[in-house]
Amino acid sequence: MAQARVKARKESVLADRFALFAECLLTGVWIAVASLGVVTYPAAFAAGARHLRRRTAHRGGGVREFVADFGAAVRGGWVVGAAGWAAAGLAWINVQAVRAGLPGGPLAGAVGLFAVIGAVVAGLRAAALWEPGAAWRSLLAGAGRRTVLDPAGSFLLVGGLVLVLLSGWFVAPLAVPVLGAVAAAAVAVEERRRR
């Protein structure tokens, strides 16, 4: 009877948010490890984003679910990863054109840079909505439209990417856990857009 009177103790809002932040950092480590396959980074971000969506909905989730999601996402996600590396190669060619002083080089470099940034943001948005069985092609098509139609969300994701780059520049190991914060930002941007 005395136990019936004891109310369930709720965590404070601060503790709940710190737990989410810690979960983001752990997810960043999982994403980094899963991305070691070079072309597996889209699948790693998709699995990380799905894990964070589960955690924010209080549906549990852990490393086993992350690994299962990663296995499902990598089936079509490796093609997206290979295309991303091809786009990075084209961006490098644009940078070399700018450096060589070719006519139109600065314009080609600027267009190439914006195209790569847009492709990365669209990839993050697609990964944030990935579910098992979803086709990457349709996810990327919708994400491309949202990247253009929701510039505020896109700029938030660009800011997250800048944060990762600066973290890696200042303290290289810090860039690994911050990847989870970028995945969380992508989830938050897509949730904001949905509402």
Question: Is the pLDDT higher at 140 or at 113?
Answer: 140
Residue 6: pLDDT band (50, 70, 90) is very low
Cβ atoms of residues 54 and 60 within 8 Å: yes
Cβ atoms of residues 118 and 145 within 8 Å: no
Q: How far apart are CA 66 and CA 47, in angstroms?
A: 6
* Residue 51 pLDDT > 50: yes
Chain centroid to CA 25: 13
* Residue 4 pLDDT > 50: no
**Burial (0-12, 13-18, 19+ Cβ within 10 Å), 60:** exposed
* Residue 3 pLDDT > 90: no
> Is the backbone of residue 150 left (phi > 0), alpha (psi -120 to 50) or beta?
beta
